Amino acid sequence: MSSDRKIAWFGIGLSVLGLIPIFRDASVQLIVVYCLLFLVLVGFFLYAAYRTSGPQYTTISLKKVLTIQDRDGRLASLTREQRIRVNYGSIQEIWCRGIYSDGSIDNFKVDGEPVPAFDQICSGPIIDLRKRFSEAIFSSHETTISWAYDLHDSFPAKHEALDHEVTPGTSLVELTVHLPVSRTCIRASMHVLVGGEPVEQMEDPAISQDRKTLHAWVKSPKNGHTLRLSWDW
């Protein structure tokens, strides 16, 4: 329990003790009114504590679309469409964290606009991007953010994969891979990873008739798990 909530509960305890002298000389009706008011205030506090105990926003849907441009996997583009709903308070910015690849990454965009250098954080091969809202968005508000970037020399092998690390409050993840015209999918699979190790095999991704598009969706994935769509081509 955080220190501010401990202080709040301590305040409630003191309030109860403070009512004891009043109850000694008060009428039954007044005691009932005080008790009802106290219960209402405690209920409101519990509701507020519950509302603010989870993530500040829920990701209603997260759609990742990987498009590989050539048969050697030298050039690819990835878009990440994230639909969120604010749960409490207000949000002035949001981050897309943990972007990485075996090759190099560039041409970062958010909502179609280039991402300024001061909204990028690079920690070795891992990149974080920030989206700043022109105005703060508040509780119950929904909005969609589109992240995009290019990947170079990232899919050179016969067996490749698209990963997604699940963040708190994610309701739905959709992963889509578009393969180049000159190279098709042989087989595809879907796994859940924990700590980099597969712990569960899920239903195989859907493969289009021309075997150039793979699609998988996962409802209510667990926070901290990694979803991996793999394919041979």
Taking the chain (233 residues) in runs of 10, the rounded mean pLDDT of each run is 52 58 65 70 62 83 98 97 96 96 95 96 94 95 98 97 96 98 95 95 97 97 96 98
The torsion angle over the Cα atoms of residues 71, 126, 63 and 185, rounded to 10 degrees, is: 20
Residue 142 CA from chain centroid, whole number = 14
Token pair of 112 as six digits: 């179609």
Between CA 185 and CA 188 the distance in angstroms is 7
Residue 229: name the closest of 184, 193, 180 by CA. Answer: 193
Q: Between the CA of residue 227 and those of 31, 157, 162, 163, 215, what are the distances in Å?
A: 57, 19, 8, 6, 13
- The beta strands (E) that lie in the chain are given as 57-68, 75-86, 90-99, 104-110, 113-114, 120-123, 126-138, 142-152, 159-165, 172-178, 187-194, 197-201, 206-207, 213-219, 226-232
> 23 in helix, strand or coil?
helix
| Residue at 22: amino acid letter | I
Residue 116: name the closest of 106, 130, 104, 127 by CA. Answer: 130
Stretch (H or E) spanning 11: helix 3-25
Buried b (16+ CB within 10 A) or exposed e, 102-115: ebebeebebeeeeb
pLDDT of residue 154: 97
